[in-house]
A and B are shown apart, each in its own frame.
Chain A
């Protein structure tokens, strides 16, 4: 009987350890937090999303507050529609805030950066961000730079 006890206790410990490891990995090493928890949806329209993709972070002052959950082209506005999922903790973002598609480092991943406006109303589920700034396309930029250089060199 005593042997059986040890066996059961050891098995219990094993299962406990395994479940603890699962829980730890899921919550501490992944972006589970920003998926779980409650959040609200906001839309933004851009002329060009560049290399932005679903799952890219949404940052406010460099802090990740949500993720991009949808990118599609709107045939009514002829603009790219981007859906943002923002955590409920950040429910006091002014309605006239600006959303910009920025790049981490020179060639890094693209993300959405919000810069707060000054309106007394806040973004809420279903609202649209009106002020947007499209992705900077490096080719265009280089092209412009070269034309400018050409003109000034004349």
Chain B
């Protein structure tokens, strides 16, 4: 009997861990209106999670677009179908690579900085100080960062995909000499507004929620030591990346 319960222990702990994160999510979501009511703090956080990532995202998107165009061009030319290059690259970007790669880069750039910032606030007792000043740290620290993360993600994903399209244009038209008319019209024919563009953005929004939530949770609940902050930062990237890839599979299978 004892051994049976010992077997259940990890399941129980996993459930409890999931429950704590769910509670954190619900609390943060409930505080979103209060974050909107204080635009100054929210704008400041939008800067720290969004603006600082723009260069990384734009450069990343450009290179992914260049590579995709090169690879697809080689593959398509074997079928004599290079006229579909524009559509194919854009489909790949909007449906899959834009949201997913942006989220992974976001987890590495903005996610870690959120986790380490909150972890440091925990370790230097700034969160406790706020708490005893009768200021709710969830409202004052977590909510504006959470909202900023959710909003920044789709915007960054859009920048990523747009830069990717630019990259594929450079390869397809400037380098391989495809006809611009065929290139652009293949996009408009192949890519559907609703099922490709809108669904991609919904994915991105959900990744934004997951990434911000995980980073903030890990930082907020970091052990209040220097070691704890480091661990929280690492965990935020690891868990975020896994969550993004798993969520991507789930969302893709539901959406398409």
20 A-B contacts, Cβ less than 8 Å apart?
A7-B47, A8-B43, A8-B47, A10-B51, A11-B47, A14-B50, A14-B155, A15-B46, A17-B159, A21-B155, A21-B158, A21-B161, A21-B162, A22-B154, A22-B155, A24-B162, A25-B162, A29-B165, A31-B192, A57-B189
**Chain B binding surface, main DSSP class:** helix
Chain A: minimal CB distance from B35 (Å): 15
Docked complex Cα distance between A134 and B45 (Å)? 59
Cβ of A152 within 8 Å of any chain B Cβ, yes or no, is no
Take A7-B47, A22-B201 as given contacts and tell me if A17 and B54 are in contact as well, using a CB distance cutoff of 8 Å: yes
- CB of A84, distance to nearest CB on chain B (Å): 17
Interface size class of A (residues with CB under 8 A): 20 to 34
Partner of B189, one of A10, A15, A18, A31: A31
Give the distance to chain A from B68, nearest Cβ to Cβ, in Å: 14
Q: Secondary structure of the A side of the interface? A: helix
For residue B187, CB closer than 8 A to chain A, the reply is yes
Residue A55 at the B interface, CB < 8 A?
Answer: yes
* Least CB separation from B201: chain A residue: A22
Interface residues of B (CB under 8 A from A): 43-44, 46-47, 50-51, 54, 90, 94, 152, 154-156, 158-159, 161-162, 165, 184, 187-189, 191-194, 196-197, 201
Which residue on B lies nearest to A105, using beta carbons? B81
CB atoms of A30 and B43 under 8 A apart:
no
Contact of A10 among B47, B94, B162 (CB under 8 A): B47
A30 touches B155 (CB 8 A): no
Q: Does A19 contact B (CB under 8 A)?
A: yes
Within the complex, the shortest CB–CB distance from B43 to chain A, in Å, comes to 5
Q: Indicate whether A122 reaches chain B with its CB closer than 8 angstroms.
A: no
Q: Measured between C-beta atoms, what is the minimum distance from B151 to chain A in Å?
A: 8
* B162 contacts across to A, CB distance below 8 A: 21, 24-25
**With A21-B161, A30-B196 known to touch, is A13 a contact of B51 (CB < 8 Å)?**
yes
